[in-house]
């Protein structure tokens, strides 16, 4: 058995697989599914991650105008309004999102955070409780890898801990 021929065959197969994967990536990256809500949504997400909230909001709003049924853009808009401190608008936006998608545990958690910031503690307790019941992982702290990937220096208080604190302060019922 000639090992030189085997290695040559493996090398050609590897180069061929690399070529096929590049062609596939280019094909999938340019199709209509590559950006389901258009360039504006993708750009809004990038800007939000870079903490450029005003620009992010403009792009979320463009995405919503272009793709009014794309709920992820509406969620992003609500979160961005909250980051900008436009609490009343953010609350209205979260309410609209939850009306359209009442199964979104993350949206309940985010609206709970907003209620908490606004001092609406009984509403925050209700939202936190519902979010955690829908998805128990939301009640836990972020793991180190998630914090690293999201470039978070601090590990924020877990929702379950905040819920317990609010209940202990008399702002809501018990489990």
Instruction: Provide the sign of the torsion angle of the four alpha carbons 158, 135, 61, 125, taken in this order.
Output: negative
Distances (CA, A) of 79 to 2, 33, 45, 108: 62, 24, 11, 12
Q: Which domains does the chain have, with CATH numbers?
A: 37-168 (1.25.40.10)
Condensed to tens digits (0 to 9), the pLDDT of residues 70-128 reads 999 999 999 999 999 999 999 999 999 999 999 999 999 999 999 999 999 999 999 99
Condensed to tens digits (0 to 9), the pLDDT of residues 22-52 reads 777 776 665 555 556 678 999 999 999 899 9
116 contacts 87 by C-beta, under 8 angstroms: no
pTM: 0.73
């Amino acid at each position: 058995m000639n090992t030189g021929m085997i290695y040559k065959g493996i090398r050609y197969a590897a180069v061929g697989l690399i070529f096929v994967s590049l062609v596939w990536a280019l094909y999938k990256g340019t199709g209509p599914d590559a950006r389901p809500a258009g360039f504006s949504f993708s750009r809004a997400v990038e800007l939000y991650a870079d903490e450029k909230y005003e620009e992010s909001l403009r792009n979320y709003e463009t995405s919503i105008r272009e793709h009014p049924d794309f709920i992820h853009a509406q969620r992003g808009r609500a979160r961005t309004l909250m980051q900008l401190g436009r609490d009343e608008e953010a609350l209205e936006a979260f309410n609209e999102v939850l009306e359209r998608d009442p199964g979104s545990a993350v949206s309940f958690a985010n609206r709970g955070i907003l209620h908490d910031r606004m001092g609406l503690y009984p509403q925050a307790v209700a939202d936190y409780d519902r979010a955690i019941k829908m998805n128990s992982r939301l009640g836990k702290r972020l793991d180190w890898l998630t914090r690293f990937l999201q470039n978070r220096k601090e590990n924020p208080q877990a929702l379950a801990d905040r819920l317990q604190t609010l209940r202990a302060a008399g702002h809501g019922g018990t489990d």
